[in-house]
Amino acid sequence: MKALMKMDYGPGHVEVREIEKPAVTQQDWVLIKVRAAGICGTDVHVWQDKFMFWPPVTLGHEFSGEVVEVGDKCKKFKPGDRVVAEPQINACGICEFCRSGRTHLCMEKWTLGWRTNGSMCEYVTLPEMFLHKMPEGLSFELAALCEPVAVAVYDVAEHGKININDFVVVQGSGPIGILAAYMAKRLGARSVLLTGISASEYCRFDVAKKLGADYIVNVQKENLLDKVMELTEGRGADCVIETSGAPSSIALCTDMLKKNGRLIGMGIPADKMVQFPWKDAVLKSLEIYFSMSTSYTAWDKALCLLQADSDKLQNLITWTGVLDDWERVFNSLVAEKDVKAVFMFE
């Protein structure tokens, strides 16, 4: 089968390879025929050598597909089921995190797409316990967005505790930033302000508006802090969601927040150390949350949103195509000429 793989350490080394189709080797695992696979920022970063990976490895962790084979001990799923899956394997099942339903935090789990073979290929095999059934009528293309939507549910709904009438700032206009803005608005925020750079003007800002952003600030043209203070009559934002990972954006979060405001850290900075006004954050009694990956509970909520808001969320997908066109679309994502791109499989 065809797979888009990262073959070696360093920038580049990504190519479409012909590899053996995986088989169900464990009784509680299933084989899924991939029908759609989304491209995440992390896939692009693996290509650029800006994110961790264990080569050779098939890229991709966002996908939807059809179950084609199940192990003898599978209980819930059968061939023909249309599914999405939490992109992980090897969770130990007995640690504190696994026992409390947080397998995504298990020290032994491997994530698809960088630690173990991912979804940008024709077939994927993984444990049945990570599968979720797609609602009737939801397309494979849109269902491939379930993972990033689950990220937004987990961070913005479950951690962010967005409330009615909140003023929310989202920093960054990538798919996760736009989904965070959508989520905040969906949860009742009064206004959502989303930031980006001049390159984001090409298409990302328009998509963000369609998904619910009320205000857009190009930080290369406008003073963000002044704008937030103007719109909140000097009080500051109730919540800042940082999805860009840019040091200059991270440094600004504290100043934009009201006292006891909430900061949600989602973006991953390139470097280990980033300057942050810790003292001001203490004096302002800020609530700060970080998270990586998704909770089990976020997935069915994400599927519910994908079905209920399918017309709106469809705007996020600006490109669909085949695996062989990967290089063109990876470059276009880097240049911000696309928002979300999805590989489709027959």
Q: What is the contact surface with Zn ion in residues (CB under 5 A)?
A: 40, 92, 95, 98, 106
> Which CB atom, from 167 or from 326, has the smaller least distance to Zn ion?
326
Task: Concatenate the DSSP letters of all residues of 203-234 into one string.
Answer: THHHHHHHTT-SEEEETTTS-HHHHHHHHTTT
Smallest distance, Zn ion to C-beta of residue 99, A: 8
Smallest distance, Zn ion to C-beta of residue 61, A: 6
Smallest distance, Zn ion to C-beta of residue 60, A: 9
Smallest distance, Zn ion to C-beta of residue 148, A: 5
> Which CB atom, from 58 or from 254, has the smaller least distance to Zn ion?
58
Separation in Å, CA 65 to CA 39, 222, 328: 15, 43, 24
If you compute the radius of gyration of the chain from its CA atoms, what whole number of angstroms results? 20
For the purposes of burial, counting CB atoms within 10 Å of the CB of 4, is it exposed (0-12), middle (13-18) or buried (19 or more)? buried
> Which CB atom, from 4 or from 237, has the smaller least distance to Zn ion?
4
Contacts of 335 (CB under 8 A, 6+ apart): 199, 202
Smallest distance, Zn ion to C-beta of residue 238, A: 27
What amino acid is encoded at 92 in this protein? C
Check if the beta carbon of residue 196 is closer than 8 Å to that of residue 209. no
Smallest distance, Zn ion to C-beta of residue 228, A: 28
DSSP-H helix ranges across 68-145: 96-99, 140-143
Smallest distance, Zn ion to C-beta of residue 105, A: 8
Positive or negative, the CA dihedral 228, 165, 247, 151 is negative
> Which CB atom, from 229 or from 344, has the smaller least distance to Zn ion?
344
DSSP-H helix ranges across 125-256: 140-143, 146-152, 175-186, 204-210, 224-231, 247-256
Smallest distance, Zn ion to C-beta of residue 190, A: 29
Smallest distance, Zn ion to C-beta of residue 38, A: 7
DSSP classification of residue 112: B
> Which CB atom, from 3 or from 256, has the smaller least distance to Zn ion?
3
> Which CB atom, from 95 or from 274, has the smaller least distance to Zn ion?
95
Check if the beta carbon of residue 30 is closer than 8 Å to that of residue 126. yes
Contacts of 234 (CB under 8 A, 6+ apart): none
> Which CB atom, from 127 or from 261, has the smaller least distance to Zn ion?
127
> Which CB atom, from 92 or from 304, has the smaller least distance to Zn ion?
92
Instruction: Determine which helix (DSSP H) or strand (DSSP E) holds 45, and give its type and residue range.
Output: helix 41-47
> Which CB atom, from 86 or from 166, has the smaller least distance to Zn ion?
86
Contacts of 26 (CB under 8 A, 6+ apart): 71, 127
Say if strands 62-70 and 14-18 run parallel, antiparallel, or are unpaired: unpaired
